[in-house]
Chains A and B, each alone.
Chain A
Amino acid sequence: MPDITVAVDQSAATTLLHDAETALGTQSTSGGGSLGPFSASWNASASFSGGVIDLLPPNIIQITNCNFNYSVGFSISVDLNAILPSFCLPQICIPIPFDGSICTPKICISWPTITIPVSYSDTIQFTADFSLVAHLVAGTWLVDVVIDGIPALDLTPAAVAILAAIELAVTPILLAIPFIGPFLALAVDAILTAIGIAGLLGVLGPLLTPFVAGLTFNIYKQPQVFPVLPNVPPIDPEVDINLDLIQAAVVASDKNELVLTANISA
């Protein structure tokens, strides 16, 4: 028989979830590597909001329509020499009024390496099953809701949108490059084709999945030892209470509840 029992219903558990989402805040990561044939650096940040808890005995907490809010930024480095043909202005000879003629040398253009900055933000809703985990960490009892498995995130719409954003971003950058005009459409097509939806998905998946893999919301936190003050101070002294054990479970009753039990000692 536990010394303390606390129970919350689905509505209160949902409130705890939203508080936990706020406490988790915004997480971020960054990295770099290949994006198609190009090199790129990227960063991502993510937070969670919303969602409704369904308590499913014996130990499943299902969160429905949880919002995964994320932003990603890419800085893509494109060596145009890799995708555009080599190009030279031919020698030009022209008669000059005070000289026979003058000839310019053949001038070969070395295409520059451009950097394309792209950012994109979106929200994906997901539904996933979570488990309750009560554990003692460095003198503090934590009750966490930990995701089971990895929810499927449909990143294809994001990849399509990012590809469109790359097209929008790259065009003015290319327009500023001398002599590229006639090759502009070719360059844009080559860049978009080389990166492709698959290329973006290959980066977005590993970049964003870690935010939800192992996702943990802390819904309860209590120091293992804490003081309890008497009702009438002069009579009883302050007493340190020790939380020997905390357990959490989803319990079926007239309505499903999230139940925390604690054993204590003085």
Chain B
Amino acid sequence: MNSLDSRFLRLGDCFAQKFSKAGTYKYIVTAGAGSCLSAAEGEYTIVVTPAKGKEKKAPESSQHNVVVRVKDGNLVAEPARTEISMSDTVLWHTPDAATPGFAVIGEGKEGSFSSGALAVEAVYSHAFGSVGTYQWVDANGSNLRGEIVVEEMEIKERNDCLKWIDTLSKGTLIHVVGGKAEPSKVKILTGQTVFWAVEKAAGISITDSRLLVRRAVR
């Protein structure tokens, strides 16, 4: 499975959230759609400490990775508790193809976050594994949309393969602010990754429109 859907993160997907306000955040990882679940009693914790010194912001923000995988039949996030400084970013991902699609949903006194409802200073990335044209939409109902064209690089000899592998380390950014996503159309090669950096939005998802067809038909 390599579907484009921030509501169900899988191998090849990442969700990152920047924490600009100090406080304690609880979160859950859930294999269900989960948007209506409360994260207040979540078993995982992020503690955001204020920046030290006179500056309100840490001089350099850091990234902290949380791995999500299945253990004993349950989805677990490791580490369960993450302590970060204000303005740091936490990134969730799974290294295991067997991990089912999951969502990360958290909340604290200073705000909430969700991979299925990207709102403020959140990032969703997806590595595209198959050729095709992907119309992405917001499954939560806004008019945000865009198009990703994924092409195959023709590989005839070893050098072509090396060139292709080299392209994989280059990501493509789509910047979302309010109701606008720029650029609206990007063209990439198989295996390349697109990042949606959501600076401020009304809780959007990044979802392949084909995944919503069934609901629309009903």
Contact = CB atoms under 8 A, between A and B. Distances in A.
B104 to A, nearest CB: 15
Nearest to A95: B173
A38 interface: no
A96 interface: yes
A133 to B, nearest CB: 60
Interface string A41-52: 000000000000
A6 interface: no
B18 interface: yes
Interface stretch (B31-39, B139-147, B161-169): B161-169
CB-based closest 10 A-B pairs: A178-B129, A178-B2, A94-B171, A179-B129, A92-B171, A181-B190, A90-B169, A182-B155, A96-B197, A181-B152
A107 interface: yes
A102 B17 CA distance: 10
Contact of B97 (A97, A109, A180, A185): A109
B95 interface: yes
Interface string A122-154: 000000000000000000000000000000000
A94 to B, nearest CB: 4
A92 B153 contact: no
Given A99-B121, A102-B63, A92 B93 contact: no
21 contacts: A96-B123, A96-B173, A96-B195, A97-B197, A98-B197, A99-B87, A99-B121, A99-B123, A102-B91, A104-B93, A175-B130, A177-B129, A178-B1, A178-B12, A179-B127, A179-B129, A179-B190, A180-B129, A181-B191, A182-B161, A182-B190
Given A96-B173, A102-B63, 11 more contacts: A89-B12, A94-B171, A94-B173, A98-B197, A107-B12, A107-B127, A108-B95, A109-B11, A178-B12, A179-B127, A182-B153
Contact of B63 (A97, A103, A178, A182): A103
A91 interface: yes
B65 interface: yes
Interface string A74-95: 0000000000000001111111
A206 interface: no
B89 A181 contact: no
Nearest to B3: A178
A51 B153 CA distance: 56
Given A92-B171, A178-B12, A182-B153, A105 B199 contact: no
Interface in A165-185: 175-182, 185
A70 B164 CA distance: 46
Q: Which of A92, A97, A98 has the most CB of B within 10 A?
A: A98
Q: How many interface residues does chain A have, given as a range?
A: 20 to 34
Contacts of B131: 181
Contact of A181 (B14, B130, B169, B197): B130
Chain B: interface size category: 35 or more
Given A107-B95, A179-B190, A98 B195 contact: no
A90 B93 CA distance: 14
A100 interface: yes
Interface in B71-96: 87, 89, 91, 93, 95
Looking at B60, B63, B165, the one whose CB has the most chain A CB atoms below 10 A away is B63
A101 to B, nearest CB: 8
A110 interface: yes
Nearest to B198: A98
Contact of B65 (A92, A97, A105): A105
Nearest to A93: B171
A100 B60 contact: yes
A100 B155 CA distance: 35
B16 interface: yes
B61 interface: yes
Contact of A102 (B89, B164, B169): B89
Contacts of A100: 60-61
A102 B121 contact: no
Given A91-B169, A110-B97, A178-B12, A104 B199 contact: no
Interface string A107-122: 1111010000000000
B125 interface: yes
Contacts of B2: 178-179
